[in-house]
Amino acid sequence: MCGALVDDKKPMTTSIYRPWSLSRLGVVLLLTSSSVGAEGNSALSEIVVTVSRVQQSISTVSGNITRIDRDTVAQVGHTHINELMQRVAGVWISRGNGQEHLTAIRSPVLTGAGACGAFLLAQDGVPIRANGFCNVNELFEAITEQASAIEVIRGPSGVSYGSNALHGVLNVLSPDVRPVGELSLETGANNYLRSKLSYGGERHRVDLHGTQDGGYKDQSGFDQQKITLQRNVEDAQGRHHTVLHYTNLNQETAGFVRGADIYLERRNARTNPNPEAFRDARSIRLTHRFSADWKGNGQLIVTSYGRWTDMEFLQHFLPGQALEENRHHSIGLMTSLHTGPFLFGFDADLTQGQLAETQARATVGSPFLVATIPAGQHYDYEVKATTLAGFLDWGFSLGTNTLMTVGSRGESVLYDYTNHLPIGRTRADGTVCSFGGCRFNRPASRSDDFVNVSSKLSLLHNVSTALQFYGKVTKGFRAPQTTELYRLQAGQSVSNIGSESIRSAELGVRGFSQHWLLDASAYHMTKDNFIFRDTNRRNVDNGETSHRGIDFSVHWFPTKVLTASLQWSLAQHKYDNTPALSSSEIRGNEIDTAPSSFGSLQLAWAINPNWDAEIEWTHLGSYFQDPENNHEYPGHSLINLRVFATRLLGWDWGLRIMNVVDENYAERADFAFGEDRYFIGEPRRAFLSVTIPL
């Protein structure tokens, strides 16, 4: 039931924590780790796959990794990925409306066209979207609700994954192919209905997922379907695993509610200022993974894939509310050879993508906005992208208890961009907008090439079979996204931006005893050349930031029926220069939407062999809403309750009550266009589920 480092046979866990200073907490972690003995089960031998693409035990990972197992996924029963990822220290998936979200992994919540490029989000190790074509909401295209596990690496992982693995990697693993047959039905607040079907044998498996949500906000809600089909075959040459993923989302979207502290007034909770907003998204991914033993002491893995995505949504948050349509399709190959102390690999990806933006009606507003944002086509372009990469890892022993690993990756990303509309700041018919030109600016067709190198040096030291220390120095990068290069505005006709880069240093400890599991790490990262849109609406890349903190996870088993689990993060994210995000001096300011502390605590009770209960406390600390640090959200804490009954009338039952104390809070707060804006959180709500064996 618990997440990282926890044996599947142990129940959920938790513990209480007080947010002390970073320096004081560091001393506490060292003292705590020294008391971890050699007793207990082999918690450090839990198997993970995300680090090196091959199965390995956590005890061989010279860096942090957190694994949420199948039982935890099932019992959390998340209706939004935010609810599940609260069990991973250092990760905050900020919840928008419906299935929309923004991601933070050892980072602020990043926004903007290319913000999603800071995170590598994958299904079975294959990126959900191609280089240059990310979307900030792309996790709703992953099959998380029926996953066998979700693994998270915090910090740069560019050697294994390349561009976009800047702040971290989140990898969703498909359900295990095994004999299974069950049907799950669920109902809840706001006409929420969900069904899940899993059926399979030794070689084949099918998983179906369908959700209908009436939406708490006025004129909101969504319908979503997900399908996973799998086939496993083993022959004399090796093992073949084929997976087909399909997702579909039709969402009526509610926008920000505006006004200082308006989230505290319950009468505003159902308000939807944008009843016209919607988002429709579809995706298909087909992957084939071939693995075979290599000359008796290694393994060869070849993964080929194809992906297709199509999305359209109303940009209700912009003047004119233009419709965006984006799509891309890809074919790719990911290879790795594990032999002796070496890991070699070669990756290739060919993608073709399109983006169009069309405004149906005239803009409402000032004469300037009306003149510079006319109705009609704003953008219509396509990009052919080619990514080629090679990497090498070499691990060698320094004595009997210490392993050192060095690695490097070289990667080239080539974009071939073709514009289908008149060049510059004109309407689609070529006529000129007044006030100096239209707000949008279409660059001429061109090609851009980005070559980057990432590297790592890591150490893993075993104090005993139950206690480890690790350290890692890494460098990661991300190439610009196509929207940052070719979707220009105002007076910018060419976007001369380069790749973002980040340098990271990390120290950590893992250990366990008969009653404790511990995983803690401290990090410091500096990011150069971060890309943003400045006050003149130009895409520039001269930002510098720093990020440091401690991620801490501890699990406690005081008795056979009581368990506890704590995931907590302390962090400090700052501007290291004064980029043109603001007309004010912001060097040294905290980055907006970057809480200094957040985490969750779960207390579980195995009441009897058939009944279990869990109470969960989640906390999000205060954060600034603007780069100037003039507006602040005070944070919030929520309590959730889950009760489970097995083999009751032959079926398994679950009851979840979210926000038990009916707290008024905001899922996300920011300050823009001169006013506070909020996604208001939902009040107390309940969900009842039943699982029927087939």
**Domain ranges within the chain, ordered by starting residue:** 22-693
CB of 280 closer than 8 Å to CB of 311: yes
Residue 407: what pLDDT?
96
Residue 28: what pLDDT?
35
Average pLDDT, the chain: 91
CATH fit for domain 22-693, picks 3.30.710.10, 3.90.320.10, 1.10.3720.10, 2.40.170.20: 2.40.170.20
Residue 12: what pLDDT?
31
Residue 3: what pLDDT?
35
Q: How far is CA 591 from the centre of its chain?
A: 19
What does the alpha-carbon distance between residue 279 and residue 360 come to, in Å, rounded to a whole number? 16
Tell me the pLDDT tens digit for each residue of 517-572: 999 999 999 999 999 888 888 888 889 999 999 999 999 999 999 999 999 999 99
Residue ranges of the chain whose pLDDT lies below 70: 1-43
Residue 538: what pLDDT?
87
Residue 42: what pLDDT?
54
Residue 376 pairs in a beta bridge with 359
Residue 46: what pLDDT?
86
Tell me the pLDDT tens digit for each residue of 601-660: 999 999 999 999 999 999 999 999 999 999 999 999 999 999 999 999 999 999 999 999
Residue 360: what pLDDT?
96
What does the alpha-carbon distance between residue 319 and residue 365 come to, in Å, rounded to a whole number? 8
Residue 21: what pLDDT?
37
CB of 120 closer than 8 Å to CB of 129: no
Q: 426 CB contacts (<8 Å, ≥6 apart)? A: 432, 433, 437, 438
